[in-house]
Amino acid sequence: MYAVAIDFETANELRTSACSIGVAWIDRGRVVATEEHLIRPRELRFNPFNSKIHGIHADDVAEAPEFPEVWALLEERMRGRLVLAHNASFDLSVLRHTLADYGMAAPVCSYLCTVILARRAWPELTAHKLNVLAAHLGIALEHHRAGSDAEACGRIALAAAGALGLERLGQIAEATGIVPGELRADGYSACKAGRTPPKRRAAGGLVTLERS
């Protein structure tokens, strides 16, 4: 299945203040490419708390493109792909609000929250934060760098599918009871944990974590 993992960093508390986006492209069970783009928010106001987390300041994005220019590089390539995000309610909210702020239409797509997926795959873990899962799975992570976070998100999804004995990411909803979220022209629906999952199948699926 073709999928894409995304991650946003924001300049302040507003969902319209994206200052960086990371994107990891997943083809046939592998992360094949990762990219990261700085974004100049419409309002160039950085909260020191946010900057302390991700290390991005106003000077870093002063000459960066605004969101519509960055989105133009990504939108067509994202069409038809399953979107993945860790704590998807945040990243998809940033996407929706930023698009709306610029008067742009949201893409029509399905998406999965990898926090919900990780809870299904590794219920024995006491926490399912991105850095905790990356450490558990041996995934390299430069936390709060959008590109690194997006790649880790994609690799966690692939590892979770493998742990659940699945061959494809497209099998996750049926196998786990997770209800994918949807972006539509007329709104959205959130990704939900859904019903109690069926008995877990043995691991050993064909999903792989190797780079191409």
Answer whether residue 78 is part of any domain: yes
206 has pLDDT over 80? no
Answer whether residue 195 is part of any domain: no
Q: Give the predicted TM-score (pTM) of the model.
A: 0.91
d(CA 96, CA 112) in angstroms, rounded, equals: 15
Angle ∠(105,83,36) on CA atoms, nearest 5? 85
Answer whether residue 197 is part of any domain: no
- The range of the structural domain enclosing residue 64 comes to 3-189
Helices 146-163, 114-121: axis angle to 10 degrees equals 40
Beta bridge partners of 179: 192
Answer whether residue 210 is part of any domain: no
User: How far is CA 170 from its chain centroid?
Assistant: 16
How many domains are contained in the chain?
A: 1
Answer whether residue 196 is part of any domain: no
Answer whether residue 211 is part of any domain: no
The string of pLDDT tens digits covering residues 34-77 is: 999 999 999 999 999 999 999 999 999 999 999 999 999 999 99
d(CA 209, CA 212) in angstroms, rounded, equals: 9
139 has pLDDT over 70? yes
Q: How many CB atoms lie within 10 A of CB 170?
A: 14
DSSP state of 129: -
Place of tokens 């909260």: 47
The string of pLDDT tens digits covering residues 104-131 is: 999 999 999 999 999 999 999 999 999 9
d(CA 36, CA 69) in angstroms, rounded, equals: 14
The string of pLDDT tens digits covering residues 154-204 is: 999 999 999 999 999 999 999 999 999 999 888 899 999 987 554 554 444
pLDDT at 120: 95
Answer whether residue 30 is part of any domain: yes
CATH number at residue 172: 3.30.420.10
pLDDT at 186: 84
pLDDT at 82: 97
Answer whether residue 57 is part of any domain: yes
d(CA 131, CA 64) in angstroms, rounded, equals: 28
32 has pLDDT over 60? yes
- Structure-model confidence comparison of residues 152 and 207, the more confident one: 152
pLDDT at 199: 57
